[in-house]
Amino acid sequence: MKKSTDKKLISKDINKKWISKAIKRPGALSKKLGVPEEKNIPMTKLKKAAKSSNKTTARQARLAMTLKKISAKRKGK
């Protein structure tokens, strides 16, 4: 029984740090979209970038939208 609880603890630690591992190049999306890094990227630009034919840009935009939603939920609490 100890082995299954150990696996659960390990998976919880991994789940907590997924955001830091997901962001490989901070500021890359801002640079691609022409928005200064210190400013937030407008949601309209993120939605347009999420439909981009460039897979990397689309993936970065979807992650940015997800992080924006998480941030908004935390501010609401």
Regarding predicted confidence, which is higher, 1 or 27? 27
Q: What's the token pair of residue 60?
A: 């970065």
pLDDT in tens, 14-70: 666 777 788 889 999 999 999 999 999 999 999 999 999 999 999 999 999 999 998
Answer yes or no: is pLDDT of 6 > 80: no
Distances (CA, A) of 37 to 10, 14, 26, 30, 71: 34, 28, 9, 6, 17
Contacts of 57 (CB under 8 A, 6+ apart): 29, 32, 49
* CA 43 – CA 33 distance, rounded (Å): 12
